[in-house]
Structure 1
Amino acid sequence: MIPFLAPANRLWLRLRLNEIGPLISLVGFGLFAWAFAAIADEVREGSTRAFDSALLLALRDPQNPADPLGPRWLEEAARDITGLGGRAVLTIVTVATVIYLLMAKKRGAALVVIGAVLGGTLLSTLLKLGFDRPRPDLVPHAAWVYSPSFPSGHATLSAVTYLTLGALLARVEESRSIKLFIMGLAVAVTLLVGITRVYLGVHWPSDVLAGWSVGAAWACLCWFVALQLQRSGQVENGRDA
């Protein structure tokens, strides 16, 4: 882990990190949940309308609001990237991960992934139905949509799925640089999916910000639960996580 530390010091550091982990996950949950509540309150009051409209229109040709800024290939690339947050792709990623974990005899980790993704999907659906916010009407949609707008389901489920899987993979690795790469990639994919939803005109920016917030909050809560189960021996720990 850290080569210049004596074995006893390495053990002490690992124990300290195991103690701090649950605290960090709870703090993350609190911060992201607060961010979602703040955004939701502004949306209810209609205070985000000016911000949402300005940013949405800024990504369109002023002479033709139906045309997103940039060359044609950029719009096609945005559709490809936004698909990474679609239910079909996330289902494939989740099922493949669960099968791998079960084959590797990591039943506890597999259950964590299933619980995180299914719970996040249910939470996203309930919030959409509860707020029932209409989709943007300022510009034509460049992708097909069929559900209410707030919060963005793509942003929410991308955060839940990719951040949860990234955290699990990062725990398997001992190299700090590889850990940072894995988590950085998970965050980058989550951000790109959300950005494309606004670029394609199918979500207000506040929808995406709220989706990122609630998705990250749920991922932090699931990680806290996973750490508690790990301590009790119900989820594989250390390199077996």
Structure 2
Amino acid sequence: MQRIKHHITRIASSTERRVWMTALVAALVAYFLFELTGEVLEGETRAFDEGVLLMLRDTTDLGMPVGPAWLTKMMVDITALGGVTVLTLLVTLVVVYLALRRKFRTAIFVTASILGGWGLSSAMKIGIARPRPEVVQHLVEVTDMSFPSGHAMLSAITYLTLGAMLSRIEEQPALRYFFPIVAVLLTLLIGLSRIYLGVHYPTDVVGGWAAGMVWACGSWFAARWLLGR
């Protein structure tokens, strides 16, 4: 009995540390996002942003990205993973999977959380209204505003939220880390592809990552409160 109590105490202590660490990270990232947004609105990041985009283009032809042709094609394919069509399909499949496992509350929570994050992304774009980069040619078609990167933010919101939710229902401890790791990797690759394709400034992508991470952390806290541990 004493051993069981000690084990429960260790688990509770570990969970409490994880909660406080997540809260600290979310607060720091939120502060960073606030500062970055101010710098972007004041134009303080333009030199850095344009310098990075120019580094990724042939100096004799700004419409030609550095690297082999297959790299450009790969980046186009990767960036599609952060598009609304792919993300909608992915979320729908995950929600159906959760429903089939009779995790109805989790399915509803995932849907509401991700739709709310997507709404926030659109509101931020409209409110900040930063134009797209014009220093280099866009390698894919874009129409809306630039900051924060919708692909970076939506992929962070979607993949990180799904990764966290799926890890919650995974019973094998080793596999609980698989979903978050895959989510982070996909989010990073999608954001980098937007810079390479010339449709976003680096700070757009960093801002999207930050906003998405804060939202995902908030969703994690809400899930603990609404769905239990």
Whether TM-score is above 0.5 comes out as: yes
2:153 match: 156
Mapped to 2, the partners of 1:13 and 1:230 lie a distance apart of: 22
Amino acid at match of 1:24: M
Residues 76/185 of structure 1: CA separation in 2 closer, same or farther (3 Å cut): same
CA contact 1:143–1:200 (8 Å) conserved in 2: yes
1:102 match: 99
Amino acid at match of 1:98: V
Q: How does 1:52-63 map to 2 (within 5 A)?
A: 52-63=49-60
Amino acid at match of 2:193: T
Shift of 1:210: 0.3
Mapped to 2, the partners of 1:7 and 1:36 lie a distance apart of: 43
2:44 match: 47
What are the superposed Cα offsets for residues 170-206 of structure 1, whole Å, 9 maximum, x if unpaired? 2233555433332221111000000000000000111
Q: Percent identity?
A: 43
Give unmatched runs, 5+ long, in structure 2. none
SS in structure 1 at match of 2:62: strand
What are the superposed Cα offsets for residues 60-87 of structure 1, whole Å, 9 maximum, x if unpaired? 1111110111111110100110011000
What is the root-mean-square deviation of aligned Cα atoms in Å?
A: 1.7
Amino acid at match of 1:38: E
TM-score (norm 1): 0.89
Larger relative CO (CA 8 A, sep 6+): 1 or 2?
1
1:126 match: 123
Q: Which runs of 4+ in 1 moved over 6 A?
A: none
What are the superposed Cα offsets for residues 29-73 of structure 1, whole Å, 9 maximum, x if unpaired? 212211111110110111000110110111111111101111111
CA contact 2:37–2:207 (8 Å) conserved in 1: yes
When the two structures are aligned, how many residues end up with a matched partner? Answer: 228
